A = this chain, B = another copy of it.
Amino acid sequence: MNLTELIGYIGATLTTFAFVPQAIKTIRDKHTKDISLFMYIIFVLGISFWFVYGILLNSMPIILANAVSFCLSGTILVLKIKYK
């Protein structure tokens, strides 16, 4: 793996797992007033397109990263709808 690829993988890992602390916080606090419903509707929809893109390209990194993102942002979306 060269430096450019390494930097790309670090970026992908950070932006994917950034949603972990938000998901944990929302599960614990059961408060979602300050979180935008539209952000998570649009984000989950966007991640679904990324996931299909990964399948069409047969790219396992894109499929895996977006499967994780879908679970995390999908959890936050469900909690936003539940606790709004």
Q: Which of A47-69 contact B (CB under 8 A)?
A: 47-50, 52-53, 56-57
Separation in Å of the A76 CB from the closest CB of chain B? 9
Contact of A34 among B20, B21, B35 (CB under 8 A): B35
Q: Are B15 and A35 in contact, CB atoms less than 8 angstroms apart?
A: no
The proximity string for A residues 22-43 relative to B, scoring 1 for CB distances below 8 Å and 0 otherwise, is 1011100101111111111011
Knowing A4-B56, A8-B53, A52-B7, the reply to whether A15 touches B43 (Cβ < 8 A) is yes
Q: How many copies of the polypeptide does the oligomer hold? A: 2
Chain B hits for A10, CB < 8 A = 46, 49
Q: Are A35 and B11 in contact, CB atoms less than 8 angstroms apart?
A: no
Knowing A11-B49, A14-B42, the reply to whether A26 touches B19 (Cβ < 8 A) is no
- List the B residue with the shortest CB-CB distance to A15: B46
